[in-house]
């Protein structure tokens, strides 16, 4: 596709999508949202460039490979499994603590949230992998 409007827009819309995906990720524990949807949005923000230009360009310019994103995500998930064993009773049990934050009640952080971040990164990697493996290398005229 060769649309100038889309190409220029992609520069700015990408960051909007990234911010939005992070908001969705954070509100996910008590409201609709979460790591999976956030990850899809963030993955889409990267894929936006692929749609506006070509997936090959995206593949070249991307700094972390899809496998890298998946690796980060899976490692985070793996880390989030363990605190429950040592601090509580069972594996994967949620451990929560509050990080003090000025003007608010504080930011609640816990292993389920870490798990969600892991899912977030894994889904970004998977989305990119999908895009790269399904993109058809035909240049549309």
Partner 1 sequence: MTIVAMPILIPFALAISLLVFRTPKTCRWVGPLGSLAIFVVSLALFFRLKTSGILTLNVGGWEAPFGIVLVVDYLSALMLMVSSLILIAVSLFSIRFLPDDFPLPRFYFFFFTLTMGMNGAFTTGDVFNLYVWFEVMLISSFVLITMGKKKEQLEGGIKYLALNLLGSLLFLAGLGLLYGKTGTLNMAHLAEILKNDGQALLMNTSSILFFVAFGIKAAVFPLFFWLPSSYHTPNIAITSLFAGLLTKVGVYTLIRFFTLFFVHDQQFWHNLLLIVAGLTMVTGGMAAASYYETRRILSYHIISQIGYMIMGLGIFTPLAIAGAVFFTLHNMIAKTGAFIASGMIAKTKGSFHLKEVGGLYKQNPLLAVLFIVPAFALAGVPPLSGFFAKFMLIKAGIESGSYIITTVALLTSLLTLYSMIKIWNEAFLKKQPENHENQESIKLNWADYVPLAILATASVLMGIFAATVFTYTMEAANQLIEPAIYIDMVLRNRTP
Partner 2 sequence: MEVVLAILVGILYTAGVYMLLRRSILKFIIGIIFMGNATNLLVFLSAGLIHGSPAFVDGTTTNSAQLADPLPQALVLTAIVIGLGMVVFILALKYKFFEVTGTDDLDQLKQTDSQK
CA gap 102, 118 in Å, rounded = 27
Q: Show the site string, 78-97: x = touches partner 1 by CB under 8 A, - = not.
A: x--x--xx--xxxxxxx---
Q: Which of 70, 114, 123, 131 binds partner 1 (CB under 8 A)?
A: 70
CB of 133 to partner 2, least distance (A): 4
Q: Crossing angle for the helix pair 35-52 and 111-134, nearest 10 degrees?
A: 30
Residue 112 neighbours by CB under 8 Å, 6+ apart: 29, 80, 94
CB of 119 to partner 1, least distance (A): 14
φ, ψ (nearest 5 deg) of residue 109: -125, 135
Contact between 128 and 43 under an 8 Å Cβ cutoff? The reply is: yes
Q: Which is nearer to partner 2, 10 or 122 (CB)?
A: 122
CB of 77 to partner 1, least distance (A): 9
Q: Which is nearer to partner 1, 54 or 94 (CB)?
A: 94
Report what 75 binds from partner 1, partner 2, none; CB cut-off 5-8 Å by kind: partner 1
Q: Which is nearer to partner 2, 30 or 104 (CB)?
A: 30
Strand 107-110 to 96-99 pairing: antiparallel
Size of the site for partner 1 (CB under 8 A): 16
Contact between 54 and 48 under an 8 Å Cβ cutoff? The reply is: no
Q: Which residues bind partner 1 (CB under 8 A)?
A: 67, 70-71, 74-75, 78, 81, 84-85, 88-94
């Amino acid at each position: 596709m060769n649309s100038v409007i889309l190409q220029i827009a992609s520069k700015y819309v990408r960051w909007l999508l990234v911010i939005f995906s992070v908001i969705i990720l954070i509100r996910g524990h008590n409201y609709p949202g979460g790591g999976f949807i956030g990850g899809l949005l963030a993955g889409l923000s990267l894929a936006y460039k692929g749609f506006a230009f070509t997936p090959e360009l995206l593949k070249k310019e991307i700094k972390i490979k899809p496998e890298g994103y998946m690796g980060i995500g899976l490692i985070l998930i793996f880390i989030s499994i363990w605190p429950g064993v040592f601090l509580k009773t069972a594996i994967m049990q949620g451990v929560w603590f509050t990080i003090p934050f000025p003007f608010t009640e504080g930011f609640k952080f816990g292993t389920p949230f870490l798990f969600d971040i892991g899912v977030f990164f894994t889904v970004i990697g998977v989305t990119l992998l999908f895009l790269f493996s399904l993109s058809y290398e035909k240049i549309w005229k």
